[in-house]
Chain A
Amino acid sequence: MLFNSIDFALFLPIVFVLYWFVFNKNLKLQNLFIVVVSYIFYGWWDWRFLSLILFSSFVDYFVGLGLMKQENLTKRRILLLTSILVNLGFLGFFKYYNFFLDNFISAFSFFGTEIKANSLNVILPVGISFYTFQTMSYSIDVFKKKLEPTKDFIAFCAFVSFFPQLVAGPIERATHLLPQFYIKRTFDYSKAVDGMRQILWGLFKKIVIADNCADYANTIFNNSVDYSGSTLVLGAIFFTFQIYGDFSGYSDIAIGTSRLFGFDLMRNFNFPYFSRDIAEFWRRWHISLSTWFRDYVYIPLGGSRGSTWMKVRNTFIIFVVSGFWHGANWTFIVWGALNAIYFLPLLLTNNNRNNLGTVAQGKILPSFRELSLMLLTFGLTVFAWIFFRAENIVHAVSYISEILSPSLFTIPKFTGMGNALTTIIVTVIFVFIEWQGREEQYAIAHLGVNWNRSLRFAIYYAIIFAIFWFGGSEQQFIYFQF
C-alpha cells in the first residue's frame, strides 16, 4: 500500500494502537506483531512475493548462525557467498534477466549471428533492491565479525521486513537497526510528535512537490520532440524536483513512521541540492545506498588508496554499479558513469572532502561563491538526471541535442503551462523552507517549535491545506520501480 493512500491512513493508526496497547506486553510479542503487519503491508501489493522475502530471511538467518559456529575461513566464505548469491540471484533474475538477454541477443546479431530466446514476463517484486541489500549487509557484517549473529529469528525477520522502510529504504545496516529489536520499545512522546511532523513534511514533498512536478516532467519528456530547448530544460528541472520530492518525501514518511513505533532509522537525504560540489552531493543524496556501496564495494576494492588508475577504476565501478542498481537500462549506467566523471577531478585533486559542513552555516544567505557553486552543482545534477529519466540512450541524446540548439533561447511553451506557474511558485517556497531548515534533520523539524501552540498548529494546518489544495495527480513512488 502507498504511504499517501487511504489504505495506509487506516492501516497506520490501527497498527499503532495495537502495537502500543495490545502487543507491548513483551519484546517477543512486539517483534512478532511487527513481522505480521510488515508481511501484511508487503503482501498488499502482491502476496506471492512474501515467499521471496521469507526465503531470503531464512537463508541469511541460517548463514548468520553458520558463520557464528564456523571458524574455517574457506567455509565462512562459502556461507557468505551463499547469502550473496541467493540475494543477488533474486535481484538478477527479477530485475536484470531480460536486460542481459536482450543485450546478449543484440551483441550476437551485431556479429551476424541470430539467437532466438524468449524473454520472460517477469514482475519486479516491490522493494527487492532494498531488502536484498539490507540482508546482505547483515551477512557481510557477521562475516567480518562486526556484528554478533542473532539467534532470534523473529527479531531478524522484523529487521528484514520492517514495513516503514521495506519497499524503498532507507537501506538499514544490521548494526544499526537489528539491535533496536532486542530492546522492548517504550513510548516516547517527543519522538512520536517529531515523527508525525516528519510524516507531514514527507507527504507535502511527495503530494505537492513531486506529484505536481511529475505532471509537467512527464508531459515534456514523453513528447520531447515537440518542445523547444528551453522547455526541455524546464522539463529536466521539473524532474529534478520530482525525484527529490518523491524519494526524500518517502524517506521522511518512513523515518517518521518508524519513530511512532520507537525506532530510529538512518537519515537518507541531507538537502542534496544545496551541495557545493558533486562529492558533497553524494554525501547527501540517497545516503543509505551510497554508504552501502562505499562500505561493501568501494572500500574492499581499495577505495581511494593506491595508484591513480585504481582510484579511477574504483570510482567508475562504484558509480556504474550504483547506476545499474537503479534499473536494467543503459541510461542508468550512463547516469552513473557521468557522475563518476563529475566526481573524479575532485578525487584526483584531493578536493572531494572540501565541503563537509552545511553551506552558509548559521547564516541566512549564502555568499556569492557558495551560491555559484550550488548552482553549478545543481546544473550538473540536472543534466545527469536527463539520462536517468529518458526512455533510452537515443531519447536522452536527442533531448540534450535539442537543449543545445538555438531553441534554448526561446520562451518555454508546453501543454498546461498556465497551471505550471502555481507549481513553480510553490516549489520556490518549498526551496526557501528547505533552505531555512537545512541544518536540521528535515526542513520543518524545529519550525515553530518555540512559538505558541495556536501559531504552530496554524502552520501544520496550512501544510495540510496545501497538501489538499495543491496536491498533484497521484503518481507511484519512483523508487518503487527499483
Chain B
Amino acid sequence: MKKFLVKVVLYTLLPVVLFLFTSVVLSLSNKDIAKNYKLNKDIENIIIGDSRTQIFQDKKIKKTKNIALGSESYYYSYYKLKYIINNNRQIKTVFLGSSYHSFSDYFDQYIYESDVISNYFYILPLLDQLSLFFNPETNLCKLIKNSVIKGFNNIFSIEKSYIGKSYIHNTNKEVSEKSIKDRINFVYLNKSKVREFSKLNKDYFNKIVNLCKDENINLILLKTPTHSLHNALIPEKFKIEYREIVTINGLKVISFDGLLNDCMFLPDGDHINKIGAEILTAKLAKYINLIQ
C-alpha cells in the first residue's frame, strides 16, 4: 500500500508541480504585461464589449481603439478595462457595448466557457482564477490547455488574447424568421422559459460604471441595432431592466436602433454585417468628432 501511495503521489506530483510552476510564471508575466500595456498616446476613446460592439472599425474613428472581444461579459470587461485605464491615463471616454441581451443569464455560459476564460485567465486576481478553476461548469482540460497556450502567446506576441479588435461576424448569412427566432431562443429563452438576469454580469456592469466615475472617465453606452422582428420578440422584462439600469446610473446611450435596413444589414437579426458596420462606424466617428 505504501509503495502504491508513494508512486501515485510522486508520479502525480511531477505534472502538478510543472503545471503550478507554469501557472505562477504565466500569471506573474501576464499581469505584468497587462499592467504595462500601452496604447498609442493619441488614443483617447476605448470601445469595449462583445461581438456586437466589435463591428466598429477603429481605424476610421480618430483617437479610438476598439478592444471589444466576442463573448466577452462585463466580468471580463471590468478587469481588462481596469488594467488599460490604469496604464493609459490619456483615456477620456469609454464606449461600452450594452443592450437588452447584456443582462440575460445566457451570458453566464460564456463566463464559465473554457475558451473564453482562457483569454483572460492569467490577468484575473488569484481568487477569481481559483474560483473559475474549481467551478464544476468549467472544462478543466480545455482551460488548462488554452490558458497555457494563450498565456505564452501573450508574452511572445504583440497581440494579446484579452485585447479584442474590430471584427465582423456572420458576413454571409441571410436573415430569416427562423434565424431570428433561433437567436431569440438562444439569448432570451431556456427551454421555452424566459431566462433570468445574470447577477454576475449586472454586478460587474456596476463595477465598470463605478470604475469610470472614480477615474473621471466619461462612460457612454453603445446600443447596436437589432432586426425589428428580433426586437419585437425580446421579452419585455429585459427591456425594462435595461432602461432601469441606464436611468439609475444616469448613463448616456448612443442608440443605433432604426438606423439600418433590417434585411440588408442584420444577418441573424442581432449582429451587423460589413456594410452595416461601415455605416455605424461613420455615425460613431461623426459623433466623436462633435464631442471632441
**Chain A positions near chain B (C-beta within 8 angstroms):** 5-7, 20, 187, 189, 192-193, 196, 207, 457, 460-461, 464, 467-469, 471, 473-474
Contacts and interface: CB of A to CB of B under 8 A. Distances in A.
Contacts of A207: 141
The size bracket of the interface on B is: 10 to 19
A468 B145 contact: yes
A192 B134 contact: no
Interface stretch (B1-9, B21-29, B88-96, B151-159): B1-9
A474 B11 CA distance: 26
B285 interface: no
Contact of B139 (A7, A193, A461, A474): A474
Given A6-B134, A469-B145, A471-B145, A189 B139 contact: no
A471 to B, nearest CB: 3
A6 B4 contact: no
Among B11, B133, B142, the most chain A Cβ lie within 10 Å of the Cβ of: B142
B4 A461 contact: no
Contacts of B250: none
What is the interface of chain B mostly: helix, strand, loop, or mixed?
helix
Contacts of B114: 473
B139 A473 contact: yes
Contacts of A468: 141, 144-145
Contacts of B144: 468
Nearest to A13: B8
Given A20-B1, A196-B8, A461 B15 contact: yes
A462 B236 CA distance: 53
Contact of A457 (B11, B134, B142): B11
A189 B4 contact: yes
A187 B1 contact: yes
A462 B159 CA distance: 31
Contacts of B136: 5-7
B141 A193 contact: no
A196 B14 CA distance: 17
B141 A467 contact: yes
B140 interface: yes
What is the interface of chain A mostly: helix, strand, loop, or mixed?
helix
A193 B5 CA distance: 10
A464 B142 contact: no
Contacts of B141: 207, 467-468, 471
A192 B114 CA distance: 33
Contacts of A460: 11
B11 A471 contact: no
Given A5-B136, A464-B15, 12 more contacts: A6-B133, A6-B140, A7-B136, A20-B1, A189-B3, A460-B11, A467-B141, A469-B145, A471-B139, A471-B145, A473-B114, A473-B139
A469 B15 CA distance: 14
Can you list the 8 inter-chain pairs with the closest CB atoms, starting with the nearest? Answer: A471-B141, A474-B139, A187-B1, A468-B141, A468-B145, A192-B4, A189-B4, A468-B144
Contact of B142 (A5, A7, A189, A471): A471
Contacts of A464: 15
Contacts of A469: 145
25 contacts: A5-B136, A6-B133, A6-B134, A6-B140, A7-B136, A20-B1, A187-B1, A187-B4, A189-B3, A192-B4, A196-B8, A460-B11, A461-B14, A461-B15, A464-B15, A467-B141, A468-B144, A468-B145, A471-B141, A471-B142, A471-B145, A473-B114, A473-B139, A473-B142, A474-B139
Interface string B104-144: 00000000001000000000000000000110100111101
Interface in B5-56: 8, 11, 14-15
Contacts of A189: 1, 3-4
A321 B8 CA distance: 44
Contacts of A457: 11
A467 B145 CA distance: 10
A461 B140 CA distance: 17
A476 to B, nearest CB: 12
Contacts of A461: 14-15
Nearest to B148: A468
Contacts of A5: 136
A457 B13 CA distance: 13
A471 B141 CA distance: 6
A5 B138 CA distance: 9
A18 to B, nearest CB: 13
Nearest to B141: A471
B19 to A, nearest CB: 9
A232 B28 CA distance: 47
Contacts of A471: 139, 141-142, 145
A167 B41 CA distance: 60
Contacts of B3: 189
